[in-house]
Amino acid sequence: MRPMSRERLLYRFEKFIGKGGSSIFISLFFIFIASFLLMIIFRWVMLQFLPDWDAYDSYGDHLWGTYLQMTDPGNMNYDNRSSALVKIATVLTGFIGVVIFSTFIAFLTTSVQNSLYQFRKGTKQVLEERHTLILGWNERVLDIISELVIANESEKKACVVILAEEDKEEMDDAIYKNILDAKTTRVITRTGSASSINQLKRISAHKAKSVIILTTCADNASEEQRINSDNHAVKVIMALTACQGGKNKLPIIAEIFAEEKRQLISFFNDEKIISIASWKMMGKLLLQTSLTSGLERVYYEILSFAGNEIYFHRSQWNGIQFYNLPYHFKDGIPLGVYRPDGQLLLRPPKDFRVNNEDIVVMLAQDNSTIHFSPQPLYTQKRRSLPGKTLLKTTKKTLILGWHDIAATFIHGASTYLMQDSTFDIIIKDTSQLCCQTIQQLQEAHPSFTIQLLFANPLNYEELKQIQPFGYDNIIILSQDEDELSAEKIDSDTLMILIMLRKIISDSHMEQPKTKIITQVLHSENQDLLIQTDVDDFITSNKLITMILAQLSEEPKMKKLYDDIFQSEGSEIYVKPAWLYFETFPIEVRFADLIAIANERAEVCLGIRIGSFSNSIEMNFGVRLNLPKDASLTITEKDYLVVLAEDEL
């Protein structure tokens, strides 16, 4: 066998060292052992030429002295009384020890620095189970964490893991500054690509409780950016499935912009993979809010983990009639029934009876407070309805700015508004795509008048010239299609609201009947908006984060959202009290409101007190799921919050 050459030995040593820190440590250890043995032999040879046992009692002491001199050169003074040859061995031993241990210390220092760097950069393995996994980082992530913190209060040890391409230190700083009290929830951040199978395995994605996939761009980003975001989401879903062995077992919630991409996700044929179109939900909510005030606050309470929530409750129902169910619960209002075949029935038919296999969808304070009593706890007092209905009306709507939400708003308006309604869209500068969209809206709804007018809503004189208070509704959206900063968009909105208030003041007009509705992106800005006397506002980012968080905890909520955010089926409305009562004021119990709403095939969720409609301390007058024996004084300015088929 040909002896191994020096180059080959060095090459193999280089490959061994290249394996990492453990290889370097092993190499240094064996170098130390080899050097120690070499110096022992050298010292023994020196002693053979010139025995020197006066300094040491035995050769074993020489061994111990050599070890001490290698580990600490200061121990060389032990050989002050030794012979010259032994002192030569001592000097060599100390020098070799300095070289080896200096290298070892440098290795340890580098290893510690690398470990700290890896921790700081977020590349370490995550050994968690049943954690909520957030993939991506955008302006909504902090609100999602806040909602999950509330949801996890009942758990002793909860965990949220975030994987994003942002720097770990930046993510940790943002969480530390904005999440003041994480309660029982630990938040772990890691830097990496969410579409990488290896990265997903590193954060134990296959052991997660649920996954939220965030968009990589803002709602008003360019078409190309939104397409890239959707493509990224699809890749992440495929990677998640792959890291689970090819079969998905996790609830996966993804926000998708394009309808065709949502259809593509449906090809997975997996009910646990849920995609939502946030701007469509916001457009529908914007439309309903333009018809009746206060709806945003209703959704805010229902979708949040604080206050009343939606629960799916099982019990021995024994064929009870659905509309008698509310009187068998001390806390909770039944909204519908989730059937064993996966069908959701909100407001089922009058004669519908609940079977033991059915799951009742409840609005309640907490899951622990829902208790079904076989015997009724309250009596219902039936009243005759006044026989009034709301009528479809012709409205003039002024839209200041543009967003995809506006297109959804106009599409949905065909269901609620009469023909000849007018939509004037005021934009300073617009893109060809926006102009094409507005043209398509006019072609799709020829009974509406949809006009694109060019003016600068941020200029007081131009805004005043528009005569905004000649409209029934003013809707304020983003003033720049290319603006991605939520803070800048909210600042523009505030400026317009201040100018609108000045127009009222300068014109010496009485309180106008025009309803001002706006979209606020950052929830922190809602207190500023209230000071501008805005009638209603939609906290877009907050509501979407609530929906994402709710779906991550209970995927069956998707069927509920599909129903209440579509024009078909059941929706939530805030209806005037005069639809239900002839005379005012009237003293009733909340149980009576439930009964009279049932007469209109509706489910009463609560009330909105008109006198508190501008009070943030009183939740803008919205009170849901009141005690059923609570005595209420209803006036003609108040409203009932109901689940109904339409707004009439």
**535, pLDDT greater than 70:** no
Could you tell me the two tokens for 499? 């100018």
C-alpha distances in Å from residue 250, one per residue of 338, 524, 548, 552: 21, 33, 15, 10
Domain assignment present for residue 434? The answer is: yes
H or E segment and range at residue 163: strand 158-164
Shared domain check, 503 and 425? yes
Would you call 323 helix, strand, or coil by DSSP?
Answer: helix
Q: Higher pLDDT residue, 135 or 70?
A: 135
Shared domain check, 533 and 426? yes
Shared domain check, 166 and 79? no
Which CATH number do you get for residue 80?
1.10.287
Which residues partner with 210 through β-bridges? Answer: 132
Q: What are the start-end ranges of the H helices in 125-181?
A: 141-151, 168-178
pLDDT tens for each residue of 208-243: 999 999 998 877 777 888 899 999 999 999 999 999
pLDDT tens for each residue of 578-620: 999 989 999 999 999 999 999 999 999 999 998 887 777 888 8
Q: What CA–CA distance (Å, rounded) separates 636 from 576? A: 7
Shared domain check, 214 and 176? yes
**What is the pLDDT averaged over residues 87-109?**
74
Domain assignment present for residue 46? The answer is: yes
Question: What pLDDT does 16 receive?
Answer: 58
Task: Select from 470, 504, 539 the last residue of a domain.
Answer: 539
Q: Sign of dihedral through CA atoms 482, 485, 490, 491? A: negative
Shared domain check, 137 and 115? no
Could you tell me the two tokens for 497? 């609201």
**What is the pLDDT averaged over residues 365-374?**
90
Work out the mean pLDDT of the chain and round it to a whole number.
83
Shared domain check, 104 and 25? yes
Cβ–Cβ < 8 Å for 239, 200: yes
Q: What CA–CA distance (Å, rounded) separates 250 from 211? A: 7
Which of 157-166, 314-323, 614-623 is the least confident region? 614-623
Shared domain check, 175 and 84? no
Question: What pLDDT does 17 receive?
Answer: 55
Percent pLDDT > 70 in the chain is 85
Which CATH number do you get for residue 510?
3.40.50.720
- pLDDT bracket for residue 155 (50, 70, 90): confident
| Number of independent structural domains in the chain | 3
Domain assignment present for residue 326? The answer is: no
pLDDT tens for each residue of 440-450: 888 888 889 99
Sheet strands (E) in 357-507: 359-364, 396-400, 422-427, 449-454, 473-476
Shared domain check, 30 and 157? no
Q: What CA–CA distance (Å, rounded) separates 479 from 239? A: 38
Question: What pLDDT does 537 receive?
Answer: 64
Domain assignment present for residue 6? The answer is: no
Cβ–Cβ < 8 Å for 401, 481: no
Task: Select from 276, 294, 310 the last residue of a domain.
Answer: 276
Domain assignment present for residue 601? The answer is: no
Which of 85-89, 127-131, 269-273, 629-633 is the least confident region? 85-89
Task: Select from 497, 520, 539 the last residue of a domain.
Answer: 539
Shared domain check, 150 and 112? no
DSSP state of 329: B
Question: What pLDDT does 119 receive?
Answer: 59
Shared domain check, 406 and 534? yes
Domain housing 30: 14-121
Beta-carbon neighbour count of residue 1 at 10 Å? Answer: 3
Would you call 43 helix, strand, or coil by DSSP?
Answer: helix
Domain assignment present for residue 378? The answer is: no
Q: Higher pLDDT residue, 607 or 530?
A: 607
Domain assignment present for residue 646? The answer is: no
Domain assignment present for residue 362? The answer is: no
**67, pLDDT greater than 50:** yes
514: burial class by Cβ within 10 Å (0-12, 13-18, 19+)?
A: middle
C-alpha distances in Å from residue 313, one per residue of 199, 316, 317, 356, 360: 37, 10, 11, 11, 5
Shared domain check, 245 and 157? yes
**What is the pLDDT averaged over residues 360-379?**
91
Question: What pLDDT does 324 receive?
Answer: 93
**What is the pLDDT averaged over residues 368-397?**
85
Percent pLDDT > 90 in the chain is 31
**112, pLDDT greater than 70:** no
Which of 146-150, 439-443, 517-521 is the least confident region? 517-521
Shared domain check, 501 and 534? yes
Cβ–Cβ < 8 Å for 386, 582: yes
